[in-house]
Amino acid sequence: MQRTKSNSAEETSRNDSIMSFEKMGDQQLWDIANPIMDNLMDASTQLDHAKHVRDFTERMKAIVTPEYFQRICQQYQAEKGYFSTRMPVAVFRRPDSVAIVWKQSFTKAPGEFVAEMVLVHKNGKYRVDHVMVF
């Protein structure tokens, strides 16, 4: 039975994700995730939308419009200040993605916050499919 091109591509993408996440060690995943999160935080501090969405999936790009990005960044900067230290906490593997969690600090707001990011592997690249600091 011949498979359609789209099914074959989906299967290949799924197999890439499984190989990329389930067989990779924690340090390999931190080495991928940290520079991506560094870029996200730097870009939001600079209010640079294009830089911020550089590693996003198409789904995330549709959500984080330039207007939404400006509003959210200005709000957190006024309330909490800028991002400061970030410490690794955990890696959670899923069949098609990996969730990465850090302990995050801000320059103005006291206390500890959670920074989380979900990475997927699409077309040979790691992409952010969810990210949040709370």
| Distance from C-alpha of 13 to C-alpha of 9, rounded to nearest angstrom | 6
Choice among 18-32, 35-49, 98-112 with the minimum mean pLDDT: 18-32
Task: Output the six-digit token pair for 92.
Answer: 């959670």
DSSP 2: P
Q: Render pLDDT for 78-118 as a digit per residue (tens, 0 to 9).
A: 999 999 999 999 999 998 999 999 999 999 999 999 999 99
Place of tokens 């989906």: 10
Whole-model pTM: value is 0.84
Report the pLDDT averaged over residues 11-18.
46
Q: Does residue 3 register a pLDDT over 80?
A: no
* Contact call for residues 120 and 16 (beta carbons, < 8 A): no
Q: Which residues, at least 6 apart from 91, have a Cβ–Cβ distance to it below 8 Å?
A: 26, 29, 30, 98, 99, 100, 101
pLDDT category, 19, cuts 50, 70, 90?
low
Domain of residue 52 covers 5-133
For the chain, count helices (H), then strands (E): 5, 4
| Distance from C-alpha of 62 to C-alpha of 107, rounded to nearest angstrom | 30
Q: What is the CATH number of the domain that holds 73?
A: 3.10.450.50
Domains held by the chain: number: 1
Q: Which residues, at least 6 apart from 16, have a Cβ–Cβ distance to it below 8 Å?
A: 121, 124
